A and B are shown apart, each in its own frame.
Chain A
Amino acid sequence: EIVLTQSPGTLSLSPGERATLSCRASQSVSSNYLAWYQQKPGQAPRLLIYGASSRATGIPDRFSGSGSGTDFTLTISRLEPEDFAVYYCQQYGSSPPWTFGQGTKVEIK
């Protein structure tokens, strides 16, 4: 089973600042099948990034994903008020289980 470790656990930033979230896998993620989701309280997760770097439909270009192998990054170039939420990475490579990270909370400083 691939374990995903997200860091930091909590990121305290102000609107307009840049956010950099990390997701490290215990072994290489096949075909870079790595996704990022945003979740706000009481809501279902929302897909932001798939295939490590492709933005999902309707996602603003301030969200970008990068990385390969075992190290992946989600960058939010300039935080908007609606971006304060919890972010999860997920790997969905060839063999189940398709695991999630434990999440990074982006909170207002």
Chain B
Amino acid sequence: QITLKESGPTLVKPTQTLTLTCSFSGFSLSTSGVGVGWIRQPPGKALEWLVLIYWDDDKRYSPSLKSRLTITKDTSKNQVVLTMTNMDPVDTATYYCAHKLLGVRAFDYWGQGTLVTVSS
């Protein structure tokens, strides 16, 4: 059974760096073809894909946010960490992590999401 769960601060100040952790079980990020991505959703708005990391450390970033994002994995802890620098109120959103297999499979398992508010 695959599960994912996001954790991190619920409130950050403008210009600060956000660090979110995705803890997962039921799969390994050392298995060929496996990936974990991050997607966010501002309140009342659509989904936005941010970044994905594969088992082989291949990383895919959204070009519009690439300069602000870093994704890393810790296979021994079954965790993926997202950092986003220079946070702004427009970054207020629910942040989800999700499992994806290489190729035609889309994001098939999602965490419950964590709401991050950016405010002074």
Contact = CB atoms under 8 A, between A and B. Distances in A.
B108 A47 contact: yes
B104 A96 contact: no
A99 B104 contact: no
Binding site secondary structure of chain A: loop
Nearest to A34: B106
B107 interface: yes
A100 interface: yes
A33 B108 contact: no
Given A97-B62, A97-B64, A50 B49 contact: no
Contact of A97 (B63, B105, B107, B108): B63
Interface string B55-78: 000001111100000000000000
Interface residues of B, number: 22
B60 A35 contact: no
Given A96-B63, A97-B62, A45 B47 contact: yes
Contact of B48 (A33, A57, A92, A100): A100
A32 to B, nearest CB: 8
A90 B110 contact: no
Interface string A23-65: 0000000010101010100001111001100101100000000
Contacts of A45: 39, 47, 96, 107, 110
A100 B49 contact: yes
Q: Which of B39, B62, B104 has the most CB of A within 10 A?
A: B104
A101 B45 CA distance: 11
A38 to B, nearest CB: 11
A30 B113 CA distance: 29
Interface in A55-89: 56-57, 88
Interface in B24-73: 39, 46-49, 52, 60-64
